[in-house]
Copies of this chain bind each other. A is one copy, B any other.
Amino acid sequence: MIKVEEENRGSVVLRRAAEYTPPSSWRTWLIGRPLQTADAPHQTIGKAIGLAVFASDALSSTAYATQEILIILAVAGTVAFGYVFPISIAIVILMAIVTISYQQTIHAYPGGGGAYIVSRDNLGELPAQIAGAALLTDYILTVAVSVSSGVAQIVSAYPEIFAYRVHISVILVFFIMLINMRGVKESGAAFALPTYFFVVMMYITVGVGLFRALTGSLGPVIDPPELEAIHALQGVTAFLILHAFSSGTAALTGIEAISNGITAFKEPRSRNAGITLIWMALILGSLFLGISYLAREIGTIPSEIETVISQLARTIFHGQAGLYLAVIAATTVILVMAANTAFADFPRLSALLAADGFLPRQLTYRGSRLVFSRGIALLALVASLLIIVFNASVTRLIPLYAIGVFSSFTLSQAGMARRWWKIGHLEPGQELKERGSMLRYESGWQLKMVINGFGALCTLVVMFVFAITKFRDGAWIVLILTPSLVAIFSSIHQHYRNLAKRLSLDNYGLPPRIPRHRVILPISGVHRGSLSALQYARTLSDDITAVHVCTDPEEASKTQQKWEKWGDGVRLVLLDSPYRLLAEPLLEYIESIANQRQPNEIITVIVPQFVPKRWINNLLHTQTALWLRLALLFKPGIVITDVPYQVE
């Protein structure tokens, strides 16, 4: 087990495998047996499961995107509903642009290339931090919104559980958290079935619908919900169309998920991830177009009472049983699943940010199942808090939710455009290494730059339209939150940088040996515990001062008498404490000694500490030693030694 590795300059280095194996516990039962670091590469996923894990967020948006467009168009009356299909086509074109852009990103950044990395390498630190903040906010909101909205579907079916919707939502979040704690492969398997069930159900719906439309057997919606009263009908303006377009772009949320999660894929990672992205875009685009086309065809009415999907399904399937119920169930489940996408990406992104020193380093720690378990737990916690604060209300959460996505789209594509520009200015054959990728000259970079640049422009416009039209609904919260997060990132970064500087051994001369110890020994009384600390103190130095804080004159004189018998000639200071405080006078005394210390003299405070056998018994003792320790840690030149004395 032990082998001497090297003997060099007098330093013996031994290498040794720890014999510790984690015992089976409730954690094993909950999330599975711990995995060794060497097992890591096996925890990756193929394309089919990858689609289920990373696409549920994007696919779930087909459940509401068409409806969002119709709601905006409704202010111009039912005549305006004709625009839904052209707008949908425009959105699908935008989707195609974004997909192509991300396709290029995935191949350029095989180590994971979300908006954060692309911005960092091509645009600089601040844009990267903005992208990071926007994405983290977005992932948290994805969890809160999707789970709340999924629970809202159940609640509309069973109104009697309305009062428990917050509880149910939070329980669901923690359930998804646990599945993710088990590891990405298992969570993929758990989520593959419902995702594919949704895709199949939607294709059946759209397929049957189109077939019946072509054969002329598809009539209009029977008994549609009433169009909600509009104060004054507006005309169809360019702004209205733009507004409807931007609302419909909700269909694009989640499309970036794969580019963040490339490392979760089996080798060849970039290729697998890229193919998965194309599949996802094709499914998403075709379903969205099909739904929008059919929705106009049968004359659905956007309403809070009945969703467009519901109107579509019951018209296509003749009523509310069988296939209809399956569609509704699948829609409900996919909305909850969408949260899982965020659980796959948030921990990876936060680990990236942490590795760069913008978030606490602990987030880079892989837990017993080799996933970033702290990131997973953090996401569950913050999302649950959000659900509780917003009372699981989707309406109040939704407006917070798209700005982050579109700002990260914009930054990512602008970064890619800049990258093409850099590549175009390289010599053929020249290579440039950046932190996240390798740059090589490519011909045709101009077209690619234009595509990315155009994509960036489109998403930028969408972002501004979103921010302006939804400002009062809550978008302003994001405009406060994102800069705050960036400020937090910076201050964390500052801390780590300072720390590294202060710890650095560059230009460090080993300080001279410590010539002399002064020992201070606070005692609460004279007993075996304090005497064993005294024994220890004697091994350090001959300059020992025992200190007893007197709050009770009787006890003080008892301590004095005992010390004269047992104190072995060591000096005792009795500190009168008129305000009956223990730690504060002691601290003040130690400080006054510390202020007089000579250079290269070190002060060691030896704290005798009872250790009761059972934890609960600590409640029966004043934890003065603990407070003293915490306060002394902040004073330079003082070492604190605990001499434990186990009793019972």
Contacts and interface: CB of A to CB of B under 8 A. Distances in A.
Interface of A: 5-6, 8-22, 34-38, 360-362, 365-368, 492, 495-496, 498-499, 502-505, 508, 510-511, 513-514, 517, 526-529, 531-532, 535-536, 538-540, 549, 551, 560, 562-581, 584-585, 587-589, 602, 604, 609-612, 617, 619-622, 629, 632-636, 638-644, 646-648
Given A13-B571, A14-B571, A639-B642, 15 more contacts: A6-B564, A11-B571, A13-B560, A14-B572, A14-B573, A20-B577, A361-B620, A492-B620, A505-B562, A505-B566, A510-B568, A611-B634, A634-B646, A640-B641, A641-B642
17 contacts: A13-B571, A13-B574, A17-B575, A18-B576, A20-B588, A361-B621, A495-B612, A498-B648, A499-B647, A505-B527, A505-B566, A511-B532, A513-B535, A539-B540, A634-B646, A639-B644, A642-B642
A368 B505 contact: no
Nearest to A516: B539
A503 B517 contact: no
Contacts of A622: 361-362, 365
A273 B96 CA distance: 90
Q: How many copies does the complex hold?
A: 2
A585 B642 contact: no
A404 B34 CA distance: 53
Contact of A528 (B503, B587, B646): B503
B629 A642 contact: yes
A531 to B, nearest CB: 7
B11 A567 contact: yes
Contacts of A360: 619-621
Nearest to A569: B10
A571 B496 CA distance: 29
Contacts of A528: 502-505, 508
A286 B380 CA distance: 65
B34 A579 contact: yes
Most buried by B among A5, A511, A647: A647
A145 to B, nearest CB: 28
B17 A573 contact: no
Contact of A13 (B22, B498, B564, B565): B564
What does DSSP make chain A's interface, helix, strand, loop or mixed? mixed
Contacts of A570: 11
Contacts of A8: 564
Contacts of A34: 579
Contacts of A15: 573-574, 576
Given A361-B621, A569-B9, A514 B502 contact: no
Contacts of A562: 505
Nearest to A360: B620
A612 to B, nearest CB: 7
Most buried by B among A495, A496, A634, A646: A495
B633 A643 contact: no
